[in-house]
Amino acid sequence: MATFFSTQTLLLLPLLMSLLLPFSMPFTVIVSDSGNQSSIIDGLQNGFSMNLSGAQTEAHEQEAVYDIMKATGNAWATDIPDVCRGRWHGIECMLDKDNVYHVVSLSFGALSDDTAFPTCDPTSSYISQSITKLPHIRTLFFYRCLSHNPQPIPSFLGQLGPTLQTLVLRENGHVGPIPNELGNLTRLKVLDLHKNSINGSIPVSLGRLTGLKSLDLSGNRLTGSIPSLSFPVLNVLDLNRNLLTGSISSSLGSCHSLIKMDFSHNRLSGSIPDSFSGLKELILMDLSQNRLSEPLPISIRSLSSLQALILEGNPMSTTLNGEEFDGMKGLTILILSNTNLHGPIPDSLGRLTNLRVIHLDQNCLNGSIPRNFKNLKNLSELKLNDNQLSGPVPFGREMVWRMRRKLRLHNNTGLCYDADSGFEDGLDSSFDSGIGLCDKGRPSSAKTVQHLSTTAKSLPLASRVNKSSGADQKVPILVMLLGQTIVVVLILLLL
Ligand SMILES: *[C@@H]1O[C@H](CO)[C@@H](O)[C@H](O)[C@H]1NC(C)=O
Ligand SMILES: *[C@@H]1O[C@H](CO)[C@@H](O)[C@H](O)[C@H]1NC(C)=O
Ligand SMILES: *[C@@H]1O[C@H](CO)[C@@H](O)[C@H](O)[C@H]1NC(C)=O
Ligand SMILES: *[C@@H]1O[C@H](CO)[C@@H](O)[C@H](O)[C@H]1NC(C)=O
Ligand SMILES: *[C@@H]1O[C@H](CO)[C@@H](O)[C@H](O)[C@H]1NC(C)=O
Ligand SMILES: *[C@@H]1O[C@H](CO)[C@@H](O)[C@H](O)[C@H]1NC(C)=O
Ligand SMILES: *[C@@H]1O[C@H](CO)[C@@H](O)[C@H](O)[C@H]1NC(C)=O
Ligand SMILES: *[C@@H]1O[C@H](CO)[C@@H](O)[C@H](O)[C@H]1NC(C)=O
């Protein structure tokens, strides 16, 4: 087992965990300096199996740990004669070749019932500057530690540049800006400032963190535009739920290792840059609830790894020409609700046979549903409601049964089902599909469609306009995304 989980795998774990957000708990894996015969060897990582008599914690580090513990309301720690030997959950040490322990990781906060890191005194905690006296520290993890005593992120953390690899200040009550000094943490792999009250803009100095694998600044009050960043090994870039404005910098297209990009719920405008075609590893792109106002660039069709494209709630005001999805063979989730789309639904969508979820609702799409949608064998959720679609729906009993209440067709101009299609047999009898039976015959020409749409108009209003009271569909999508991510995790673990 030990050899199976290589150091590389361990390195990836924090990232993979953060991919699972918002479900995951944060992470505490620490990594050893593989390939570097440094003075620190992997001493105590495997628990209490070692008891090298005579080994002691370095004296200055011991004092620093006492300070840090006192500052968080954990003065009990000062009764422990040797912090690395009388370990508690939340401190990790490593032994050097001279039999001296060095502190490499400190963690605070109640993650879950079975992860008992020291918790912080809610009223008086702060981050002690003695942290800068830990010359080997690699991981700092503060979760909900200062929430009731809001304070800025201390700029002295920048002094940990030579060693710090993971900085997590999650839901930690921080206010004020991100200090420029964090740009000095040039060995950082994970920076997680999720859900604080940080304001100001994203410092350009963060561009120096070229070894970053995961950057999560989501859930803050960041303003200004996203700086021109280019991180060659970044896997996760999460800036969702901030107040970011301006257009999306084309330099982000050079983050070639990106797997997850989430800029949703900001105020970003302009277009999706052409350069995004270079994001060949991207699995999730969520730019929903912004002010993007231009058509999708054709170039994004080369995103062959993309599994979820979520753009809902942007005034894109465009027609889909069909080519933009051509190469997205892996696409399983496409969400373009409320993006002011008009014109027809392109046939090309029906060729993306991995699609499970399609939301094109609340647009001005017209014409009929492409007949090849019946080839979407994995489709389990289709929202086309609140458009101007007309003509017969191309689904039979089996497909309707598979989607059941996740098939939303109400409030269209003239959608209907053919009597012999089996559509009605697949319906959940207590659920109003929002459409009625097509007029006699099997209409196929545009003329018939036109005719149909007038007939449909004469149907009782209630049967067309009845809005389903079903719960919001976000949860199933997230669950599905989670499933997808687990697959990714497994694949990466097997690498
Ligand atoms: C290993 O680490 C030491 C100090 O931590 C450093 O001086 C040395 O250059 C590193 N070696 C390699 C191969 O990275
Ligand atoms: C560990 O070392 C201490 C002294 O440093 C000794 O008292 C103790 O018995 C040792 N424990 C084991 C399990 O060897
Ligand atoms: C750290 O960053 C700040 C601001 O970005 C800079 O002024 C300072 O010189 C840096 N310190 C070190 C030790 O690099
Ligand atoms: C950030 O918030 C603080 C209050 O917490 C405020 O005083 C400051 O002006 C804000 N800064 C910016 C750039 O909005
Ligand atoms: C549908 O899903 C299954 C299992 O989830 C998968 O094996 C298959 O490749 C997908 N695509 C098609 C076209 O069936
Ligand atoms: C769809 O709407 C466009 C205008 O947005 C119109 O030009 C076109 O004729 C309509 N097509 C159909 C089939 O109704
Ligand atoms: C029907 O859909 C249109 C958008 O196509 C929307 O403006 C309208 O409010 C919807 N009507 C109802 C009753 O929901
Ligand atoms: C809408 O559908 C529900 C349940 O299917 C039904 O109880 C309700 O009466 C319908 N409303 C109208 C206006 O037909």
Q: Could you tell me the residue ranges of all domains in the chain? A: 336-425
| CA 38 to ligand 2 center in whole angstroms | 27
| CA 345 to ligand 5 center in whole angstroms | 23
Q: What are phi and psi of 392, to 5 degrees?
A: -75, 145
Q: What is the pLDDT of residue 53?
A: 66
Q: What token pair was written down for 2?
A: 């030990």
Considering every ligand atom shown, identify the ligand nearest to the alpha carbon of residue 405 and give its number: 8
| CA 208 to ligand 7 center in whole angstroms | 48
Residues 6+ apart with CB under 8 A from 250: 273, 274, 275
Which residues are 72's β-sheet partners? none
380 touches ligand 5 (CB under 6 Å): no
Q: For ligand 7, atom 9, name the residue with the nearest CA.
A: 386
DSSP state at residue 1: -
Q: What token pair was written down for 15?
A: 């990232």
Cβ atoms of 223 and 244 within 8 Å: the answer is: yes
Residue bearing tokens 């009993």: 397
Q: What is the pLDDT of residue 485?
A: 52
Length of the chain: 495
Cβ atoms of 434 and 408 within 8 Å: the answer is: yes
Cβ atoms of 154 and 128 within 8 Å: the answer is: no
495 touches ligand 8 (CB under 6 Å): no
| CA 243 to ligand 5 center in whole angstroms | 38
- Return d(Cα 119, Cα 23) in angstroms, integer: 21
Q: What is the pLDDT of residue 283?
A: 97
353 touches ligand 5 (CB under 6 Å): yes
Residues 6+ apart with CB under 8 A from 166: 14, 30, 138, 139, 140, 141, 188, 189, 190
Pocket probe mutation, ligand 8, options 404, 405, 466, max atoms within 8 Å of Cβ: 466
CA atoms within 13 A on the CB side of 137: 27
Q: Atom of ligand 5 at shortest distance to CA of 377?
A: 14
Burial 186-210 (b: 16+ CB within 10 A, else e): eebbbbbbbbbebbebbbebbbbbe
Residues 6+ apart with CB under 8 A from 292: 268, 269, 270, 271, 272, 311, 314, 315, 316
175 touches ligand 4 (CB under 6 Å): yes
Q: What token pair was written down for 277?
A: 């075609």
| CA 52 to ligand 2 center in whole angstroms | 8
Instruction: Fill in the amino acid letter for 431.
Output: F
Q: What token pair was written down for 312?
A: 């809902």
Closest CA to 123 of 154, 106, 147, 151: 147
Q: What token pair was written down for 448?
A: 């018939």
Pocket probe mutation, ligand 4, options 151, 153, 199, max atoms within 8 Å of Cβ: 199
| CA 445 to ligand 5 center in whole angstroms | 33
**Cis amide leading into 22 (omega within 30):** yes
| CA 405 to ligand 8 center in whole angstroms | 14
Q: Angle at the Cα of 305 (from 301 to 307), degrees rounded to 5?
A: 90
181 touches ligand 3 (CB under 6 Å): yes
- Return d(Cα 151, Cα 145) in angstroms, integer: 11
Q: For ligand 3, atom 12, name the residue with the nearest CA.
A: 184
Residue bearing tokens 């809001």: 150
Please list every protein residue whose CB sits less than 6 Å from any atom of ligand 1: 36, 38
Instruction: Fill in the amino acid letter for 444.
Output: S
- Return d(Cα 227, Cα 282) in angstroms, integer: 20
CATH classification number, 336-425, choose in 1.10.10.10, 3.40.50.1400, 3.40.50.300, 3.80.10.10: 3.80.10.10
386 touches ligand 7 (CB under 6 Å): yes
**Full DSSP string of 270-329:** E---GGGGG-TT--EEE--SSEE-SPPPGGGGG-TT--EEE--S----EE--SGGGTT-T
367 touches ligand 6 (CB under 6 Å): yes
- Return d(Cα 267, Cα 292) in angstroms, integer: 8
| CA 187 to ligand 3 center in whole angstroms | 14
Q: pLDDT of the chain along its 495 residues, tens only? A: 333 333 334 344 444 444 443 333 332 223 333 333 334 443 334 334 455 567 899 999 999 999 999 999 999 999 999 999 877 889 999 988 888 999 999 999 988 777 779 999 988 899 999 999 999 999 999 999 998 889 999 999 999 998 999 999 999 999 999 999 999 999 999 999 999 999 999 999 999 999 999 999 999 999 999 999 999 999 999 999 999 999 999 999 999 999 999 999 999 999 999 999 999 999 999 999 999 998 899 999 999 999 999 999 999 989 998 888 988 999 999 999 999 999 999 999 999 999 999 999 999 999 999 999 999 999 999 999 999 999 999 988 899 989 988 999 999 999 999 888 888 888 877 778 888 888 754 444 333 333 333 333 333 333 333 333 333 333 444 445 555 555 544 444 444
- Return d(Cα 116, Cα 143) in angstroms, integer: 12
Considering every ligand atom shown, identify the ligand nearest to the alpha carbon of residue 136 and give its number: 1
Cβ atoms of 465 and 436 within 8 Å: the answer is: no
Q: For ligand 2, atom 11, name the residue with the nearest CA.
A: 51
385 touches ligand 7 (CB under 6 Å): no
Which residues are 11's β-sheet partners? none
Q: What is the pLDDT of residue 460?
A: 36
Q: Atom of ligand 1 at shortest distance to CA of 35?
A: 13
| CA 297 to ligand 3 center in whole angstroms | 40
Burial 264-285 (b: 16+ CB within 10 A, else e): bbbebbeebbebbbbbebbbbb
